[in-house]
Amino acid sequence: MSQVVVGQRWVSHSESNLGLGMIQSVEGRRMEIYFPAVNESRHYAIDNAPVSRIQYQSGDRISDMDDQVFQVIEAHELNGLMIYLGEDANGEQHQITELHLNCYVQFNAPEKRLLNGQIDSDDSYQLRFDTFAHLDRLQQSPVQGLLGPRVELLPHQLYIAHEVAHRPAPRVLLADEVGLGKTIEAGMIIHQQIVTGRSERVLILVPDSLVHQWLVEMLRRFNLRFALYDKPRFDALQAQPIRDLDNDEEVNPFAMEQFIIASLDGLMESPDMQQHLLVSDWDLLVVDEAHHLRWSEQASGEDYQLVEQVASRSEGVLLLTATPEQAGLDSHFARLRLLDPKRYHDLTAFKAEVAAETDHRELIEALQDTEFSDVERLKSLLPNELHSTLTDSLDESIKQKLLDQLVDQFGNGRVMFRNARSSLDNFPIRSVQSYPMPCPEIYQPEDDDPLNVGIAGLTPEVELVPDVWIKRDPRVEWLEQKLEQLSDEKVLVIAHHASTALALQQHFSRKLAVKCSCFHEGLSLIERDRAAAYFADREEGARVLFCSEIGSEGRNFQFAHHLVLFDLPANPDLVEQRIGRLDRIGQTQTINIHIPYLEGSSQHVLFDWYHKGLNLFEQSFSAGYSVFLRFEASLLEAMTNLTQDRSELIMQTQKVVADIVQQQELGRNKLLELNSCRQPQADELVEQLIENEQHEVLTKYFEGLLEEFGVDYEDHSALSWIVRPSDQMKHSYFPALKEEGTTVTLDRMKALSRDDIEFLSWEHPMVSESMEMLAKSDAGNTSVTTISVKGLKPGTLLLETFYTLESIAPKKLQLSRYVSAKPQRFLIDATGKDLSKVVSHSALNQLSQPLKGKVARQIVAQVKTQVAPMIELSHQLSQTKVADIKSHARSKLNEALNGEIERLRRLRERNSAIREDEITRLEQQIQDCERHIEKAQLQLQGIKLVIAS
């Protein structure tokens, strides 16, 4: 790479929409490039950055900041900057420094390359044409941004991701019940927002224990490289600051990366990090475990206040949280305040609003019943606003339309999505096996206070040294026998205290030679990841993972089918979290829950109450904690006085649980459930994704890309390749290619089962970024071939050209959805006639025969004077299409966005969950897009000379 100097003009290979950039600063081995066209900056490592310097030569056409066009007469370098002498349209000469070049530029000049004898292979030319055709198809696809994630195609997840991610600045709660994949839903939304350009700066705040899990998941599932910001990294960035050339101030460390993951716990311990974070702006903020943020009407916790301030500086917000039933109405309101503080500002009013919600259950059931046909009954159930949709006959299309209108106008799905297990299929069965065993003397000594009663009796071993209780606690001997029985199975063992888990791990690994690992809060984040990874390894990994309570938050082990609850926590929600590590989407077998407990102890009391009272182990029960609070005093009394009769307590609990289950069923927010997954649309998304994968087309195209860039590859297995760097690579950088090689597959299920194989799709960086690199380079933009067709006189010349309408605009405007990248093709003969409608591109391609480079250059030299006028005629013909193309783009823009604006305005009259700023953002987007469409220009992308033989 040439010497990097402030003021030089550079262009990005991977983000062509940024336009011509300017070196803003150089610090050590890093440089900052500012892109005026979109008013954005990027930071790069100088070595192997996907950017290149722009230096014009004599004969090139350039323009300055005032849009004046000059032809370069001569160029020279002074102090690392280019100085150009150019001639304007009046023949006057001007000196232009590269500092004053126009940032809206196009870099390819196929006609010059052709006439100068720079001729590419016909395969490269065809690959270039196909690239623009594929870019157009992908940019117009209704599932853009959903093709790339390495996930199962589950309708409820795809529906939420699509519904949320297509909004300009989504602010929503993801509150699915445990095990339904909120993290994957959030990842898909993030991925789609980034791919479509709606979000360019993303901040993810998570509990300390989940930092590395999110980091790995974002990369493994979504090919998104997030930077982990902790105190050491933050301090290191501050120790070597980068200065802003405009104001000579230090650049905020949080502005140095686009995608950042940070521990909320770590931020709370660093006022300096908080200070810098609170002056940073974000396109999307994601907060996991948001229900742990502390808030009340009287006061809010410092963690809540921090998130509240960050959310106010972020356009979009995703909160991953427990269901409202688990968190409680006050906590639910606190989350809604973070999303829309203007709408949710009064807790009392909110509670009154919830109480006054109309129950549409009977109406929804009628509309979903294929046999229901009573129009008059339906009319009595329908809100007055929907009567106009009703017809004399009830067919399924009318019922579906009424359902959609009901959800849109009366649901709160704009701010919350919550899928329930009861509305989804294919969840595994829970098999509960309990193992009562006598309480040993060590826990009930005659000469001291007993250890087997009260809350302490749930974990009596923590009061004794491990050498004592390990030898005499019957649960340990039982576990030895159980693990021997399950010799070929992965087993997850969860205990409340880290000391218990660690003592068990040491006993089983050292004395019994069981391959096991331990996961507890005393480990560093990296050590926790290693422990979890060792357990996940199917071949050489641990058979058993001993986990403390933190292991029941966020870590997923659905590849295991046996769960041992070595003790029981005094919180039913924690039991559900424990079971949820196995009982979640992706679990393929029955979950075997093993529960040893000591008879005549508080463990026995709590097991009976959980099992017989709450039915907590066999069924997921979201209201368990509220029932626990109701009976807490009685339960604690029973755990203290072990001889008292517990039958009445259990009977009362069963009655309350039955009432709650009935109330939940009657009070289920059917509108919310419908809006969280509208099944017809969700199923259609799955079909569209499968259709858009196009394995056969992508196979041919991908191999063509690798050959074009000089990358080695070999077949690995069906629809799979091993891709490696080679000495013949045209560039030192190829997207997502590791130095040791990368194995990729188009087979989604294979990628899901093999962490060592990446999932290849049209949106994998190896494909998408190399497509952009090729499109913005001159690769394949010239070709010379021969053609032999009966009736076509030898020596006859044909000139195929294709253009695309190019506009440099901020990616978040999504201009490509309206300005098509479809190649505008012409086929000019020597008389100036356009034959493109007579001979298609594919037909011409099949008839064409390649020429050797030397022969092709000789022919071009001989016919240059004939070809130049044909090129000029092609330019003239292309300009006749510009107005129609722009008009079509404006129509498409207004049809899409004005239609959505009108829909939101109508709905907002009856549904206050729709924010006014959603509408104003769309109105602003229309204005900005129209301005950039007006500036768009047709660019010649490829030129092919065909000689009849």
* Residues annotated in a binding site: 176-183
Alpha-carbon span 82 to 557, nearest angstrom: 59
Nearest to 705 by CA among 678, 727, 734, 726: 734
User: What is the CB neighbour count within 10 angstroms for residue 600?
Assistant: 18
Q: Taking a C-beta distance cutoff of 8 angstroms, is the pair 783, 945 a contact? A: yes
Alpha-carbon gap, residue 516 to 489, rounded angstroms: 12
Report strand pairing: 416-417 vs 259-263.
unpaired
User: What is the rounded distance in angstroms from the CA atom of residue 417 to the CA atom of residue 675?
Assistant: 7
CA dihedral for 28, 34, 35, 40, sign (positive or negative)? positive
Q: Which two tokens stand for residue 281?
A: 């702006």
Rounded to whole angstroms, the Cα distance separating 411 from 358 reads 10
Query: Phi and psi at residue 612, in whole multiples of 5°?
Result: -85, -35
Contact 335, 343 (CB under 8 A): no
Helix (H, G, I), strand (E, B) or coil at 640: helix
Decide if 609 contacts 653 (C-beta within 8 A): yes
Number of H helices, E strands in the chain: 31, 31
List, as one string, the DSSP characters of 715-757.
EEETTEEEEE--TT-SSS--TT--TT-EEEES-HHHHHH-TTS
What is the C-alpha to C-alpha distance for residues 941 and 767, in angstroms, rounded to an integer? 20
Give Cα 147 distance to the centre of its chain: 11
Cα-Cα-Cα-Cα dihedral of 450, 453, 458, 460, to 10°? -10
Sheet strand arrangement including 824-829? 824-829, 797-806, 937-948, 782-787, 849-850
Pairing mode, strands 562-565 and 720-724? unpaired
Handedness of CA 185, 191, 194, 197 (dihedral sign): negative
Amino acid at 134: H
Rounded Cα gap, residues 395 and 375, in angstroms: 11
Three-state DSSP state, 55: coil
| DSSP assigned state of 509 | I
Supply 481's token pair.
């026998």
Which residue ranges are tagged as binding site for ATP?
176-183
Helix (H, G, I), strand (E, B) or coil at 21: strand
Which residues are registered as beta bridge partners of 172?
A: 318
User: Exposed/middle/buried for 380, CB within 10 Å: 0-12, 13-18, 19+?
Assistant: exposed
Return the number of other C-beta atoms located less than 10 Å from residue 523's C-beta: 18
What are the tokens at 314? 């972020």
In sequence order, what DSSP letters do the residues of 832-890 get, joined into one string? S-B-TTTS-HHHHHHH-EE--HHHHHHHHHHHHHHHHHHHHHHHHHHHHHHHHHHHHHH
Note the maximum CA span of the chain: 115
Tell me the residue type at 599. E
Cβ-Cβ contacts under 8 Å for 814 (sequence gap 6 or more): 196, 197, 198, 925
**d(Cα 222, Cα 445) in Å, to the nearest integer?**
56
Are the C-beta atoms of 813 and 938 separated by less than 8 Å? no
**Distance between CA atoms of 457 and 203, rounded to whole angstroms?**
43
